[in-house]
A = this chain, B = another copy of it.
Amino acid sequence: MREELIYYPPDFSATVLEAAPGVTTEAAAADGVVPRTFYATTNYPTYVKQAGAWRLVQRQRMDAAIVQNPETGEFECTEMRKVRAGQPVVVGSVEDGSRGVLVHSNGFRPAGGAAAAADAFGFMSTGPSRERPRNYRRIAQVIANHQNPDGHTIWVLGPAVVHSGSREAMSWLIDHGYVATIFAGNALATHDIEYALYGTALGMDREGEAIAGGHRHHMDAINAVRGAGSIAAAVEAGLIKNGIMYSATKNSIPFVLAGSIRDDGPLPEVLTDALDAQDAMRGYTQQATLVVMLATMLHSIATGNMMPTFVEKGGTLHPVYTVAVDAAEMVISKLIDRGTHQAFGIVRNADDFLVRIVQELQKLEAEHERDHAPGAAEPPTR
């Protein structure tokens, strides 16, 4: 994991940047349409020059336009569909600063220089493979480093998290502060609630055995929640007594349930319009310090599309890490190819990953408690 990386801003006193003209903009001709030569963004820290000063672009994401917000004067990454007629849109394709747009793609470097770099980056040097060993303890340490409220970890969950049997592990992670936001779909929530109500997921029990009449449990679960009015109401009413959605509700952890054409029901909280769901997700991706993607290609790619590679905290930039877990190398390669850099791919089953991560976090918590017990000796530096 690329931990302990420090952000080195561009040297704006360099001749080329000093001499660069201001950024060029062109007015959008119509709502939702950008100038033909609009500058298409990356997910790296990006600066534009105006009135002689370089300013960090806000709300970074890839494949967006850069528009100057008429109210704040800030330059912001804006989805094409959100650009309004007449707004000034940055144009051009040069991004080395010489034309007023600078992408700073290698700003994060290890504190100790090259030697440290080898060490810090080596952990994730080769491609994802089912045949590579996995140091769950180190991954758990990364997750621990991003615990609430200092970090903000988004967990992107596919329904296999429930099917493969790790509702309890996921609940534990929520209860213990390792989850800041959940991104999922109707299926994950439905099968989690089905399990809470009937002890099955898609009609199969905890052994993976099909239960008589179980095929309708997911419809019954949706109907029950629709009857209650919302997942929150169903938890409040004591209908849902455990699981992922229960823990999220009890701990006031926000979730975005994005709808899809595959959905039954759907559950009341599901955002059925893809653009509404994107907007809701993007609000959280701008704050994330770590993203863990589990067994879902659709939601993971969507999240990767709108994630910056960095986050601003306390006036300085920090890298955003991604851990992607899937049983298939292909999914992980696809995720990483799509522009989700600083991603660490783990070819494992969601259930095994979660159970082993929880075990390691429990050990870390026990060690921490022991080290900080009254009368404990000075804790060793890791």
Which of B80, B206, B329, B353 is close to A265, meaning CB atoms less than 8 Å apart? B80
Stretch at the interface among A14-22, A34-42, A101-109: A34-42
Please tell me if the beta carbons of B327 and A130 are within 8 angstroms of each other in the complex: yes
Stretch at the interface among A172-180, A239-247, A253-261: A253-261
Cβ-closest chain B residue relative to A209: B122
Contacts A216-B40, A260-B302, A298-B262; A226 near B126 (Cβ below 8 A): no
Which of B125, B208, B227, B259 is close to A210, meaning CB atoms less than 8 Å apart? B125
Q: Is A123 an interface residue (CB 8 A)?
A: yes
Q: Is A367 an interface residue (CB 8 A)?
A: no
Tell me which residues from 103 to 154 in chain A have a Cβ below 8 Å from any Cβ of chain B.
122-123, 125-127, 129-135, 138
A260 to B206, CA, bound (A): 31
Please tell me if the beta carbons of B261 and A208 are within 8 angstroms of each other in the complex: no
Please indicate the chain B residues that have their CB under 8 angstroms from the CB of A348 in the complex: 349, 352
Which of B32, B133, B160, B264 is close to A130, meaning CB atoms less than 8 Å apart? B160
Which of B40, B131, B261, B329 is close to A160, meaning CB atoms less than 8 Å apart? B131
Q: Is A281 an interface residue (CB 8 A)?
A: yes
Tell me which residues from 323 to 382 in chain A have a Cβ below 8 Å from any Cβ of chain B.
327, 329-330, 333, 347-349, 351-353, 355-356
User: What is the CB-to-nearest-CB distance from A88 to chain B, in angstroms, rounded to a whole number?
Assistant: 16
Q: Is A249 an interface residue (CB 8 A)?
A: no
Copies of this chain present: 4
Chain A residues with a Cβ closer than 8 Å to the other chain, count? 79
Can you list, as one digit per residue, whether each of A205-216 has a CB less than 8 Å from chain B (1) or not (0)?
011111001011
Please indicate the chain B residues that have their CB under 8 angstroms from the CB of A209 in the complex: 122-123, 125-126
Q: Is A305 an interface residue (CB 8 A)?
A: yes
Q: Is A266 an interface residue (CB 8 A)?
A: yes
Please tell me if the beta carbons of A223 and B130 are within 8 angstroms of each other in the complex: no
Tell me which residues from 255 to 305 in chain A have a Cβ below 8 Å from any Cβ of chain B.
258-266, 272-275, 277-278, 281, 298-299, 301-302, 305
Please indicate the chain B residues that have their CB under 8 angstroms from the CB of A80 in the complex: 219, 222-223, 226, 264-265
Can you list 9 contacts pairing A with B, beta carbon distance less than 8 Å? A33-B227, A40-B216, A63-B216, A81-B266, A126-B204, A131-B164, A134-B165, A262-B302, A355-B356
Q: Hey, which bits of chain A sit against chain B, CB under 8 A?
A: 29-30, 32-34, 36, 38, 40, 63, 80-81, 93, 122-123, 125-127, 129-135, 138, 159-160, 163-165, 204, 206-210, 213, 215-216, 219-220, 222-224, 226-227, 258-266, 272-275, 277-278, 281, 298-299, 301-302, 305, 327, 329-330, 333, 347-349, 351-353, 355-356
